[in-house]
Amino acid sequence: MPDTPPPTLTEMPAVAGGGLLDRRLFLKRGMVFGVAALTAETGMADALDRPVWMSRPGQPLSNYGQPSPHEKDVIRWISANAQAPGNGISWTPLHKLAGTITPSGLHFERHHNGVPQIDPAQHRLLVHGLVRKPIFLDPARLHRYPMRSRVCFVECGGNSNAGWHEEPMQALAGNMHGLVSHSEWTGVPLATVLEEAGVKPEARWIIAEGADAAAINASIPLEKALDDALLALYQNGEPIRPENGYPLRLILPGWEGVTQIKWLRRLEVTDRPTMARNETAKYTELQADGKARQFTFHMDAKSLITHPSYGYRLQEPGLYQISGLAWSGRGKIRKVDVSADGGKTWAEAQLQDPILSCAFTRFQIPWHWSGGAQILQSRATDETGYVQPARSDLIAQRGRHGYFHYNAIVSWAVEPDGSVHHVYA
Amino acid sequence: MPDTPPPTLTEMPAVAGGGLLDRRLFLKRGMVFGVAALTAETGMADALDRPVWMSRPGQPLSNYGQPSPHEKDVIRWISANAQAPGNGISWTPLHKLAGTITPSGLHFERHHNGVPQIDPAQHRLLVHGLVRKPIFLDPARLHRYPMRSRVCFVECGGNSNAGWHEEPMQALAGNMHGLVSHSEWTGVPLATVLEEAGVKPEARWIIAEGADAAAINASIPLEKALDDALLALYQNGEPIRPENGYPLRLILPGWEGVTQIKWLRRLEVTDRPTMARNETAKYTELQADGKARQFTFHMDAKSLITHPSYGYRLQEPGLYQISGLAWSGRGKIRKVDVSADGGKTWAEAQLQDPILSCAFTRFQIPWHWSGGAQILQSRATDETGYVQPARSDLIAQRGRHGYFHYNAIVSWAVEPDGSVHHVYA
């Protein structure tokens, strides 16, 4: 390497207002970010000092590891219904995570009557209805079928629904948008089992039912069942966790979570939907024209800046990275634009590869914060060309009775004191 | 769908000896696998019966989930040195996992003086030596640099070394080959921090040191440090687990684990290697010609059938899937061949996408077991054209003094009673 000082960030032109810098900056060589203001030149003796944990033996090996005790706030936040034990939700702390995988212990939960403790030796899947041969499978036998893996998100149709409120809710990003998580799911393609049962020509739908005490069920169009539906046995490499459907869960990549039945025990092939509670009284919504939407399966493209976000406090002006997640239930993310001036100008963020269909895509762009008040936003575009809407556009399109499928652009206001809060902009 | 019986597996021709079937079978439509021998036709009332866990409320929501109590054997097996507390290893149970991600709680461990319990507020990384400006970084400041994610394996150079024994060790696949695990690592490219420090022209190596009581260190060629080395803060989305280096670990994709220093506290830029214990007394090996190998950083291509493997018992003749993992420290896996007749004939397995560089690739091929004695093997080829060697070829090339970097083909013998054991073939 040449022994001459490399260029510094202040020599780089901004690519959009508010201090957004070129996303390719971090791929360049010979570029100094100037973040490490602490230099060791004057305190090398201190810097070489050994910390106390180098002077004593550490903890022993363990059969199953756990997070550091110093990360006690990297947990699911629980909002449960005290009047109905077992009915509630817990949220993935998106504001505390990086990369794309959600550790299984932090995958969001939505239960209606608690988490059943299922003995897999007693669990069966029944496939019946409009089939030539009803079949009855235990998990051990299911293991003999070909399996495939799919890295994809699962998102609750009700995620982010505080966005419909008149006033912007002040909450950590994960506590408002964390009903979405991202795992590697592995299991048997549902199509394989359906072909074994022999679907009759008049079949159009499948009614999936879980083995929890609420017997949650959902109607799935046969077309999706024969496309990429998975009878998942594994999540992130190990058997699915109890709260995510142990020992067997239906995975429907890109569709709303309520259809992806946990603790799956029964698939009834029919010629019509069953009109379950969660596809009539819930997970439908009144539109501006007085008609209700129903069977809105796909989760549309969405993005969220996770760093910085509500609850962060920037310590000083200087270089930061704006980082977040984008996903679409209709395919791959094509691009994510970021604004640091409330939407007046936009710059394209760097996307982390591999970019997969119906999967979390991490985006990032370097940002020089000058110390003033600014509004940060991100806007996802998926491979179908669909662009994540502004909140005002979503309301114009869907009216004010919305509750589900809120996917508008999220705005974080950075104040001169470095604090970050939620605004509508 | 037409209301006529689909073809059955018995009509499919084998693609190699011992009952190997076409890998593309599982992608075909209208193919019956014939696994679900249990039909519900005669017992629909029983099949519709609700299990006991549907009659009572389940468990409440939780802040951080754990595996099912029915999966108590999906754990790391510990082999520790009773004479030296904190010195030992624990193994990833590869024979119990599916897909590719290793849950962080099951990532293998190799410690020399236990797991330090580090307070991240007190942890610092010092970068010094042949640099223009020594720097001293805390994890909070490191978070302001651009990050990237890399899905890659970490493998101990001593993994599978029981393969050098005269007699084949009878052990579960994970307990002999499970010093390899696979995660999404997220952190700051080391190149970025080195450029900030300003590497001097005479620099050639970097000495990395950990903050454990053994102060484990390793010499890294500067070229690798500037290529794809990562200062990792996150593993599978959350802060790195203590046993894997919390709060900061060096990741060197494709290289032996001993170089990927955990609890990273110091990087000294030098003009020569430090000749640490783990690159002289250990992790070197005497060859047949009397010379020792040193600095054998790359982990060569390798594969392992995980299902079925030692300890499994096939219940009856019929259709099964042969499934396993392949990986290479020199790039992507190009193909995996499988033999069911001890290497006489081979057929290509299906590879699960995405296929990434220095990453686990899951392979699978359908197999009709006729009930006889057979020997199952897998053989990986990576994108450089390197082919995983037979055991006899590895010994011919490396001699009998080997201890590290054992990557020969693994052979599992299936007996007529369905039991599986380890053989040299």
Instruction: Quote the pLDDT of residue A9.
Output: 61
**Is there a contact between A237 and B58 if contact means CB atoms under 8 Å apart?**
no
* Residue A25 confidence (pLDDT) above 80: no
Scanning A124-153 for CB atoms below 8 A from B yields 124, 126, 128, 132-138, 141, 143-149, 151
pLDDT at A29: 60
Average pLDDT, chain A: 92
Closest chain A C-alpha to B129 CA, distance in angstroms: 11
pLDDT (tens digit per residue) in A132-159: 989 888 998 899 999 999 999 999 999 9
pLDDT band at A98 (very low <50, low <70, confident <90, very high): very high
Distance of CA B214 to the CA centre of its chain: 25
What is the 8-class DSSP label of residue A396?
A: H
Where residue A402 falls among pLDDT bands split at 50, 70, 90? confident
Over range A404-414, report the average pLDDT: 97
Q: Do B38 and A198 touch (CB under 8 A)?
A: no
With an 8 Å Cβ cutoff, are B1 and A32 in contact? no
B1 band by pLDDT with thresholds 50, 70 and 90: very low
H/E segment holding residue A176: helix A173-177
Enter the DSSP assignment of A74. S
Contact residues, chain B, for A318 at CB < 8 Å: 144
Bridge partners of A79, per DSSP, are A89
What is the rounded CA–CA span in Å between residue B267 and residue B210?
A: 9
Cβ contact, residue pair B103, A39, below 8 Å: no
* Contact present, A16 and A339 (Cβ < 8 Å): yes
pLDDT tens digits, one per residue of B165-209? 999 999 999 999 999 999 999 999 999 999 989 999 999 999 999
Chain B residues with beta carbon closer than 8 angstroms to that of A78: 61-63
Q: Name which residue leads in pLDDT, B15 or B238.
A: B238
pLDDT at A100 over 50: yes
Q: CA-CA-CA-CA torsion for A108, A114, A119, A123, nearest 10 degrees?
A: -90
CB B208 within 8 A of CB B261: yes
Chain A nearest-CA residue for B202: A1
Average pLDDT, chain B: 92
Cα B74 to Cα A226, A350, B95, B98, distances in angstroms:
32, 38, 9, 12
Q: What average pLDDT score do residues A106-131 get?
A: 96
CB contact under 8 A, B117 and A58: yes
Q: How many helices (H) and strands (E) does chain A have?
A: 6, 26
Considering only residues 385 to 424 of chain B, which have any Cβ-Cβ distance to chain A shorter than 8 Å? none
Hey, what are B343's tokens? 């290497």
Quick one: closest CA in A to B216, which residue? Answer: A54
Selected residues 305-364 of chain A with any CB under 8 Å from a CB in chain B: 307, 318-321, 323, 350, 352, 354, 356, 362, 364
Provide the 10 A C-beta neighbour count for residue A385. 9
What pLDDT score was predicted for residue A199? Answer: 96
- How far is residue B323 CA from its own chain's centroid? 14
| Residues of chain A found within 8 Å of residue B211, distances taken between Cβ atoms | 50-51, 53-54
Mind giving me the DSSP string for B260-312? S-SSEEEEEEESS----GGGTTSS-EE-TTSPEE----BPPPEEEEEES-TT-
Strand duo B125-129 + B264-270: pairing: parallel
B182, B183, B179, B212: which is closest to B76 by C-alpha? B179
Chain centre to alpha carbon of residue A74? 16
- B4: pLDDT strictly greater than 60: no
Distance CA B103, CA A104 (A): 8
DSSP state of B394: H
* Residue B166: exposure state from Cβ atoms within 10 A (0-12, 13-18, ≥19): exposed
CB contact under 8 A, B135 and A38: yes
Show which of residues 177-236 on chain B sit within 8 Å of chain A, judged by CB atoms: 182, 184-186, 189, 191-193, 195-201, 203, 211-213, 215, 226, 233-234, 236
Cβ separation B40–A80 shorter than 8 A: no
Q: Measure A179 CA to nearest chain B CA, in Å.
A: 14
Q: CA of B24: how far to CAs of B323, B336, B383, in Å?
A: 14, 14, 22
pLDDT tens by residue, B280-300: 988 888 888 888 899 999 999
CA-only gyration radius of chain A, Å: 24
Q: Please, which pLDDT band fits residue B41 given cuts at 50, 70 and 90? A: low
Residue A60 touches partner B, C-beta closer than 8 Å: yes
The 10 Å Cβ neighbour count of residue A338 is 27
Distance CA B380, CA B362 (A): 11
Contact B414, B368 (CB under 8 A): no
Residues of chain B numbered 81-120 and touching chain A (CB < 8 Å): 85-86, 88-90, 96-107, 109, 111, 113-120
pLDDT value at A37 more than 70: no
Shortest distance, CA A340 to any CA of chain B (angstroms): 17
Is B234 in Cβ contact with A26 (below 8 Å)? Answer: no
* A323/chain B closest Cα distance in angstroms: 9
User: What's the confidence (pLDDT) of residue B25?
Assistant: 72
Dihedral class, residue A331 (left if φ above 0, else alpha if ψ from -120 to 50, else beta): left
Residue B198 has a pLDDT of 93
Residue linked to tokens 């050098």 = B164
Q: Is B408 exposed, middle or buried (0-12, 13-18, 19+ CB in 10 A)?
A: buried
Tell me which of A22-26, A391-395, B139-143 is least confident: A22-26
B28 has pLDDT over 70: no
Query: CA A44 → CA A48, B133, B137, distances in Å?
Result: 6, 11, 13
Q: What is the mean pLDDT of residues A225-244?
A: 98
Q: Using the predicted structure, report yes or no on whether residue B320 has a pLDDT greater than 90.
A: yes
Percent residues over pLDDT 70 in chain B: 93
pTM higher than 0.90:
yes
Q: Which residues contact B70 (CB under 8 A, 6 or more apart)?
A: A118, A119, A120, A246, A247
- Convert the pLDDT of each residue in B59-114 to its tens digit: 999 999 999 999 999 999 999 888 888 899 999 999 999 999 999 999 999 999 99
